[in-house]
Amino acid sequence: MSKQTDDFFKSIISHAKEYGFVFPSSEIYDGLSAVYDYGQLGSELKNNLKAYWWKSMVQLNENIVGIDAAIFMHPTTWKASGHVDGFNDPMIDNKDSKKRYRADQLIEDKIDRYEKDGKTEKAATLQHDLDEALNNDDLARLKTIIEDHNIVCPVSGTKNWTDVRQFNLMFATQMGAMADGAEQVYLRPETAQGIFVNFLNVQKTGRMKIPFGIAQIGKAFRNEVIARQFIMRMREFEQMEMQFFVRPGSELEWFAKWKETRLKWHLALGADTSKYRFHDHVKLAHYANAAVDIEYEFPFGFKEVEGIHSRTDFDLKQHQEFSKKKMQYFDPEINQNYIPYVVETSVGLDRLFLTVFANSLVHEDLSTEEKQDSRVVLKFHPAIAPVKAAVLPLTKKDGLPEKAREIMAALKMEFSIQYDEKDAIGKRYRRQDAIGTPYCITVDHQTLEDNTVTIRHRDSMQQERVAIDELNTIITKLVGWNNLLKQLI
């Protein structure tokens, strides 16, 4: 990371904390690694992002329905899905610093360095060797690569490495109070399996016809070997996943469709197209016949925000085998029974939150010849802004606060509104800019005479005078979900 991007990333973390968006978990006890709490504004923003996703999936599509499955699942689920045996990361310890790393990430960092130094051929060979070692689950080879390329521990600077070992990322716990009767269960590492095990329930009770989708938002847990980059890689995080069940043979067409649909969804939030790119998987998971990541350009480079995977019939077939329940669908159009194929879209809510934050945080220089001035603004799309409008009496006297309270009381039935009467009006505007409030409604002396107020627009800082009676309609128009959703169809 260059100094400039490093500073920008630091400013995201400190702004998120200072204004009540994201706090380290249990901070009074010095926090818990890779676990974060969302504060008073962060939880509002997160709720709005969830609503945007849910509406675009479930509300806009007649053939997609949503569920909310439990975090705990029967342990056989994870045998069937392959997570018990295969949800591993290769890890390596440095004996001097006692620090633990993901072996593949150490090598990837080296590839990045080769590329930065213009050693493109070396980078390509190393990438090829890494892919081959990972494909063959060859842990000894990973260690040899690390040694051959003189990869040292960033902390101790030495090459005193342990062997590479597999590390299962699932958190296990005991269910049941009796020690001998307790059963080992897992905190789900993805929400998708809650959808697969409910495939028959939803298909039958909802009389769903293929193609159809099941959507879900919920927590997932992964004991990540190393945690870094703020809410990018957490041990407890939230996913928004949709499994789309299709006729075998049509999956690649649907995969292409979902790939475009999902990119459009991200772009509707207002980011520049150049901030996003597709990254096709070269190395496919054993169950997939196509996979792509949607990557966003974070201050630390392009990284995955969402994965779109054509998972074939792998999951349903596995559950059929382990549960001995038929996971079939009778397709009346072709008069055939089959196990549907699945195209999955899976976006991390926390990573999405970070993209929105990184994309919205702007330091603006407003200096003129007369005076120096600047402001920090969160330019959220109004539909997802945590606070839609602030009601501000110009002064604390002459009946202005009472009038402002009246306006607030009417608007708060529909929108999330803040009231603020402390400090000079300019300072209050800046406070609202810093939390991304798109509109400020100012009540002044003229208000008492003609029942009008000013609306200040966050991005342009322009003000217009409008009638109080019109406020509800105007704000609805400005912050309504259709501003976002209409871009998707």
**Site of interaction with ligand ATP (CB under 6 A):** 190, 222, 224, 233-234, 237, 239, 304-307, 346-348, 350-351
Instruction: State the nearest-atom distance from the C-beta of 224 to ligand ATP, in Å.
Output: 5
Given a contact cutoff of 8 angstroms between Cβ atoms, the answer to whether 288 and 82 are in contact is: no
Instruction: State the nearest-atom distance from the C-beta of 235 to ligand ATP, in Å.
Output: 7
Residue 395: strand, helix, or coil = coil
Given a contact cutoff of 8 angstroms between Cβ atoms, the answer to whether 62 and 50 are in contact is: no
Sorted by sequence, the CB contacts under 8 Å of residue 257 that are 6+ apart come out as none
Maximum separation of any 2 CA atoms in the chain, in Å? 81
CA-CA distance, 82 to 258, in Å (whole number)? 25
Instruction: State the nearest-atom distance from the C-beta of 221 to ligand ATP, in Å.
Output: 9
Residue 394: strand, helix, or coil = coil
Instruction: State the nearest-atom distance from the C-beta of 414 to ligand ATP, in Å.
Output: 32
CA-CA distance, 386 to 360, in Å (whole number)? 13
Sheet holding 64-67, edge to edge: 64-67, 212-221, 236-246, 341-348, 301-312, 290-298, 276-280
Instruction: State the nearest-atom distance from the C-beta of 352 to ligand ATP, in Å.
Output: 7
Between residues 218 and 401, which has the closer beta carbon with respect to ligand ATP? 218
Instruction: State the nearest-atom distance from the C-beta of 350 to ligand ATP, in Å.
Output: 5
Phi, psi dihedral angles at 448 (to 5 degrees): -65, -25
Between residues 130 and 305, which has the closer beta carbon with respect to ligand ATP? 305
- Residue 57: enclosing H or E segment and its boundaries? none
CA distances from 482 to 25, 141, 318, 487 (A): 35, 53, 40, 8
Between residues 44 and 306, which has the closer beta carbon with respect to ligand ATP? 306
Between residues 236 and 331, which has the closer beta carbon with respect to ligand ATP? 236
Instruction: State the nearest-atom distance from the C-beta of 190 to ligand ATP, in Å.
Output: 6
CA-CA distance, 202 to 67, in Å (whole number)? 9
Between residues 286 and 324, which has the closer beta carbon with respect to ligand ATP? 286
Instruction: State the nearest-atom distance from the C-beta of 268 to ligand ATP, in Å.
Output: 18
Between residues 23 and 419, which has the closer beta carbon with respect to ligand ATP? 23
Between residues 15 and 233, which has the closer beta carbon with respect to ligand ATP? 233
Residue closest to ligand ATP (Cβ): 348
Between residues 170 and 461, which has the closer beta carbon with respect to ligand ATP? 170
Given a contact cutoff of 8 angstroms between Cβ atoms, the answer to whether 93 and 159 are in contact is: no
Given a contact cutoff of 8 angstroms between Cβ atoms, the answer to whether 380 and 45 are in contact is: yes
Residue with tokens 């002044």: 444
Peptide bond into 211 cis (omega under 30): yes
Q: Write out the E strands in 263-340.
A: 276-280, 290-298, 301-312, 329-331, 336-338
Instruction: State the nearest-atom distance from the C-beta of 36 to ligand ATP, in Å.
Output: 10
Residue with tokens 């591993």: 88
Between residues 153 and 305, which has the closer beta carbon with respect to ligand ATP? 305
Instruction: State the nearest-atom distance from the C-beta of 187 to ligand ATP, in Å.
Output: 13
Between residues 37 and 304, which has the closer beta carbon with respect to ligand ATP? 304
Given a contact cutoff of 8 angstroms between Cβ atoms, the answer to whether 211 and 54 are in contact is: no
The two three-digit tokens of residue 477, written as one number: 């128009």
Instruction: State the nearest-atom distance from the C-beta of 347 to ligand ATP, in Å.
Output: 6
Phi, psi dihedral angles at 219 (to 5 degrees): -75, 150
Nearest alpha-carbon partner for 305 in 341, 282, 271, 339: 271
Between residues 37 and 224, which has the closer beta carbon with respect to ligand ATP? 224
Given a contact cutoff of 8 angstroms between Cβ atoms, the answer to whether 401 and 448 are in contact is: no
